[in-house]
Amino acid sequence: MFLRFTIPCDIFLMGSSPESLNVSACFSHRGYAVRLSLPGGEAHEFHELPRQFRFLRTAEGLQIVLNDEGGALKVRPLADLSQVESHSDFLQLLRSVGSRVSRAIRNFGIVPELPERLAEESVSPADIETRLGKWCPETSTDGHTWSELLPPTSRPFAALFASALSRDMEFSQRAELKVFLWPDIVEALEDDKEPPPEQEFVTNSIGHLRQKNFRLAVLESIICLEIVLTQFLLQYLTVSVGVPARRVKQFLSPEIGVTARLSALLNLTLHESYLEDVDLDKVMKVVQWRNEVVHKTGRLPVGIREDTLEDHVSAVLSLVALLAERRDNVAAGPELKKITEALRGMGDRHIFLVQIWLKRSHRVRMDIEFFSAPEPGDRRDKLEGLAREAGELLKARDPRFNGSEHLTIHFKEVPGKSVAWFRAGSLEM
């Protein structure tokens, strides 16, 4: 049996083509097979917007279809749950999968307007029926022909105004989703993946900035920075430097504040090239504002312009993204070293240097530099062979890695002369 319901909300989808806006995801939830889609209006093109976000359409809700026969586990039949006497359990199932969807889109799609979980205010049978009425549940035996579970004549009166009421309570703001992040959302749903701590704080901070709640934006952005800075320093000192973990934890005790760590340790642990695009003066100013709020007045200093607050908090979030990326690269250092050694071994001693940088969403940037590049006659074959081997080695450490989609290699010849690029699965010479 199939069960379909829709959680009403307004989400602006932004993408590079009309087709990119037709997003969906399939995953398993408590043994049920689930399909998520975002139905709504037609796509419209806006030439004044950047190419990546030129097409827009509005989704009118989160449409979720459950199937009790498509999962790997034996589950309670949806036909049983849909009976009136079981509507409490039925609502709990719908609410749990709805919360999982909303949370994934919120954190991995950076959509702070969506709630982290759906409200659990329903207690009486009337409340339960009202909530179900808002989501318009339908059943089907074949997934094509649908019947309303609650016919309009039997719905509670409040359910007649369900769309507006639901949106007011839980989805009161129009959300914005950039669909280039949709693969991250799909992965989170398929793997039941929890976001890293910094991602939740980044999403919260962006939401506070949009709502002009600058005090909370300052507080959450610095909490986020403290977490990621500590994680990065822990990885760097234990993996790269070899300091015993016990000593590192003592060194990174709360007595050494974020100001000291930023002003002293960052310059010692990060190459200056990583800090070129980070405005540490702005970051330090936000730390100062946070200290004013937490330790002195409880509020931000008077007279700071809104654009200054937005700009400075954005500088903090940029540093957070940098530190999170460096943390993950340092942690993966031993694995990446094995890959660089394997690739150098393929180069017949002609490879001078291999550098690997892990990026978000499984993307990898790699530089391979030769003492002397392969001869023009067999250059393409050798470079494509190196790219294939690199893809296989990276796939072994990350099952979701796809070389034709995620891998970019810059082939160079000492001293830094460009030879070729491998990207989007093909070699450009």
Entry pTM: 0.89
> Who's near 63: CB < 8 A, 6+ residues apart?
4, 5, 6, 36, 37, 38, 39
Q: How confident is the model at residue 62 (pLDDT cuts 50, 70, 90)?
A: very high
Pairing assessment for the beta strands 426-428 and 417-423 based on DSSP bridges: antiparallel
pLDDT at 246 over 60: yes
For residues 294-299, give the mean pLDDT.
Answer: 92
Query: 342-352: per-residue pLDDT in tens?
Result: 999 886 678 99
**Confidence band, pLDDT 50/70/90 cuts, at residue 113:** very high
Instruction: List the one residue out of 413, 420, 362 whose CA is nearest residue 391.
Output: 362
Handedness of CA 129, 134, 135, 140 (dihedral sign): positive
The pLDDT value given to residue 227:
92
pLDDT at 51: 93
Per-residue pLDDT reduced to its tens digit, 298-319: 999 999 999 999 999 999 999 9
Quickly tell me which residue has 């003592």 as its tokens.
250
Q: What is the tens place of the pLDDT at every residue in 140-190?
A: 999 899 999 886 654 544 444 444 444 546 666 789 999 999 999 999 999
Predicted local confidence at residue 104, as pLDDT: 97
pLDDT averaged over every residue in the chain: 89
Taking the C-alpha atoms of residue 233 and residue 287, their distance in angstroms, rounded to an integer, is 18
Residue 386: both structure tokens together: 């190196």
Higher pLDDT, 168 or 64: 64
At residue 258, the pLDDT reads 82
Helix (H) or strand (E) segment spanning residue 369: strand 364-370
Average pLDDT over residues 398-415: 95
